[in-house]
Structure 1
Amino acid sequence: MTSMIQELTVSHNPFDMTPTMNYSNTTDSSFTNNSSTITNNQSYDGVDDFLLPWWQQTVFFLALIAILIIASGGNLIVIWIVLAHKRMRTVTNYFLVNLAIADFLISVLNMPFTFLFLLYQNWWFGTFFCKFSCFISPCTISVSVLTFMAIAIDRYMAILYPLRPRIPRRHVIAAIAVIWIISIALSLPNLIFFTTVEQSGVTLCTYTWSLDKDLAYNYLLLILNYIFPLLTLTITYSRVGIELWGSQAIGEETSVQHDRVKSKRKVVKMMIVVVIIFAVCWLPMHLYFLLSNHHPAVTKLDYIQQIYIVFFLMAMSNSMYNPIIYCWMNSRFREGFIRVFCWCPCRPCKKFRSKLRFRRTLFPTSVNAMSEKYSERNGSLMHTMTEYVDPDVNGPRRVSNNRNIVRKSDDYL
């Protein structure tokens, strides 16, 4: 009689972060699937054989809790800083709010449930949440990468074509709505084809369409949500970097122009760091996806379950890094975080002049100084307004020649 070997299969789909785990009875060990196969050197007697040692579970749980607290709390603070302070409501910051919403949703609605499924190999949360959790992961990832591209395009237009008018805020809101519509449409197959099934005494969250269709869909997500966006962002920011760091101003550069270019550089640096962190965090998951499809033997390593959980937590940790980057590289976000944590006894608040609130700035009173003309970096535009640029990145304030009115620019954060 042919021996029946029961194998545990764990999906390596890098975007359906709720992995497809199937218990199947096969007549031999050559089980071909788009899922990674976790095998055991000993005979398989039940799900308990795949449970990790208690100390490994403890380490993974501590990592999960840290990521969840920082990601959810940090992104909520970012949303509050932008929406609660009028001075922070700029084009770029609206996109950052959209990015924070996507990071918050994936960290709260997908990460803890997928982690428990990976650890205990049993879906406890019902059919609806199986569908929704598998849907929310590729949806929020699509929102993130499309938001990255929208910010890059906005920076590209603002820096390379400074004479063109900026995007109206109503158009920014419309662009964010389009981003979500595209992301939802791209993720709908998971909402339709994922369901729960009972096998070998456990509940599984798995797909119901064919293996070929699932693999093709995963490759489509890999291209649209990782490879193509990173190539586009690399080209865009390379062009912006050449303009900001490689070109020279025509004629003598004024201190105002120097400060303005310095401010733009800080914004671009921050966004480049955000994109690089995203690429690094998701790279192991994508490499595992490609490697396991072309070399199935990789899925039979002794510690593949631990490796997969590490890759999963690394990918999910991307949602907690953005608030840290904003706080580190932008003084206004940093001030907002300080305000939130003023209640902490170990961090008493100090009185400081707020940069988040609207305030007036002292300017030269000389009529000649106020009306001094200077050329833009391309030498083609002459201004009759003097600009004061905040050295902390947050934009020039313009004062007209006949009124002491301060206006902020959406060119900066």
Structure 2
Amino acid sequence: MTTYTNISEAGDYEILMPPYIYLTELVFGIVGTLGNLSVIIVVLSTAKMRTLTNYLILNLAVADFFVSFLLIVNKYVTQAFYIPVPGGSAGIIYCRLYYSAVFFWVCIKASTFNLLLMTYETYVAVVHPLVYPAYRTKRNIISTVAVSWILSLLIELVFVQYHGKADDGDCYLFVYSEPAVGVFLGVFNFVVTFLLPMILLAWACFKIQRRLGAKISNIGDGTSIPQSETNLRARRRVVKTLYLVILCYAVCWTPDSFLFLCVNVGVSVEYTATYFNALVLLAFANSILNPIIYIFKYRQFRMNFLRTFCWCLTKNSIGPKSTGQDSASMTGGRTNPPNVVPAVAGRGGHI
């Protein structure tokens, strides 16, 4: 397998990665593509799951699908094989838009912001149930989803101008005219695409947990009744899953986010070191976790998944009955307990 050398953040530093890096990226890409595609198919093919809430899940799955797909056709291809850079303006476009994997990173940022949208729908449903029906409209869902994608694109376009084609015909990435520019953009990217989302997610979880800890629940019609033990358990399962999702997010993307920040502020980073390769792969692994979480944590999604892809095995074994423990998951049909499923997403680093 031929490795591809390039000019990167380190100037003329030649990056040569071992073959296992490329093979692992390929495996992650295939698994993530198929897994997120299965989520898309299950949501679209199941009438009861085509709700506004589940469309947020669908949008996140679409973002993670493209992350995984582009990991194969963009990141893997440009790193594992030598591709001659076209001449003229085509070469500049190639370096800035394809070799830089700009759309790959746009999808990662979009998945981050969509994770926030899903989490804050849960937050509004639990903490502010009286305003939740007014908030949860088709127009609001479409608008917030559109803003998340537009914002992701605009942030990534800031970095595109610092990619290009060198005089010797090779592509270069993140070359700044002044070191201060790199420092500013590195800090900006770290704060907007990682630190701020982490703070907002942690705050939302804290408020949700405190609300669910109360023994009296304010129902959407304005009455106050004691919560049943079943509803309390169901809601607490949603919160526990939310913590698991955020933990996966933090574990997978914290190292890579700090690596990109270090690169931009001038800290020396060894690109060929084993730790570097392991942390980058850990970040990319995040995009394959959503389908796994859905299958293992949510009974209704698991049932619909089996009905869709293994109907011959489940035709007589899976009935329509659903337990109360999953009433707060992916049905989208109830607002008490909240019907928002937090999911895992990929993040905003560039390493």
Change (3 A) 1:190 1:288: closer
Amino acid at match of 1:272: Y
- Aligned residue runs from structure 1 range 1-400, under 5 A: 21-22=6-7, 34-35=9-10, 51=16, 56-57=18-19, 59-110=20-71, 112-118=73-79, 127-133=92-98, 134-166=101-133, 167-197=136-166, 199=168, 203-207=170-174, 209-211=176-178, 212-244=180-212, 246-249=213-216, 253=226, 257-292=228-263, 296=267, 298-299=268-269, 304-342=272-310, 348-349=313-314, 351-355=316-320, 390-394=324-328
Cα shift at 1:73: 0.8
Give the letter for the 1:264 counterpart: R
- % identical aligned pairs: 24
Distance 1:340 1:205, change over 3 A: farther
Q: When the two structures are aligned, how many residues end up with a matched partner? A: 320
Contact 1:194 1:207 in 2 (8 A): yes
Q: 1:340-377 CA distances to partner (integer Å, 9 max, x unpaired)?
A: 4428xxx944523454xxx8x9xxxxxxxxxxxxxxxx
Which residue is 1:412 aligned to? 339
The answer (yes or no) to whether the contact 1:395–1:409 under 8 Å persists in 2 is: no
- Kindly tell me: are residues 272 and 128 of structure 1, through their superposed partners in 2, closer, same or farther at Cα, counting changes over 3 Å? farther
Question: For residue 348 of structure 2, what is the aligned residue in structure 1?
Answer: none
Tell me the SS of whatever aligns to 1:317: helix
Structure 2 stretches lacking a partner, 5+ long:
218-223, 341-351
Q: 1:311 to 1:189 in 2, by over 3 A?
A: same
Kept after mapping to 2: 8 A contact 1:131/1:191: yes
Residue 252 of structure 1, CA deviation: 8.0
Task: Please report the TM-score for the alignment, with normalisation by the length of structure 2.
Answer: 0.77
> What's the CA shift for 1:294?
5.8
TM-score, normalisation: structure 1: 0.66
Determine the C-alpha separation between the residues in 2 that align with 1:336 and 1:196: 49
Contact 2:238/2:329 (8 A) holds in 1: no
Could you tell me how far apart the structure 1 residues matched to 2:5 and 2:174 are? Answer: 7
Q: CA 1:161 to 1:92, structure 2 compared with 1: closer, same or farther past 3 Å?
A: same
What SS does the aligned partner of 2:7 have? Answer: strand
1:162 Cα offset (Å): 2.1
Q: Is the 8 A contact 1:102 1:140 kept in 2?
A: yes
Q: State the SS of the aligned residue for 1:412.
A: coil
Residue pair 1:155, 1:268 contacting (<8 A) in 2 also:
no
1:144 counterpart SS class? helix
Range with greater deviation from structure 2 (264-273 or 114-123): 114-123
User: Structure 1 residues 129, 280: CA separation in 2 closer, same or farther (over 3 Å shift)?
Assistant: farther
For 1:197 and 1:207, the matched residues in 2 are separated by 12
Contact 2:52 2:141 in 1 (8 A): yes
State the one-letter code of the partner of 1:74: G
Question: What do the CA deviations read for 1:326-351 (whole angstroms, capped 9, x no partner)?
Answer: 111111221233234428xxx94452
Contact 1:90 1:412 in 2 (8 A): no
Q: After the TM superposition, which of the residue ranges 284-293 and 221-230 deviates more from structure 2? A: 284-293
Letter in 2 for 1:279: A
Deviation sequence 1:189-230 (CA, Å, 0-9, x none): 23444333353xx63243565243344222211110000110
More strand by share: 1
Give the structure with the higher percent helix: 2
Q: Which residue of 2 aligns with 1:44?
A: none
Deviations 1:49-101 (A, max 9, x none): x645xxx41x3343223211111111111112222222113343221111111
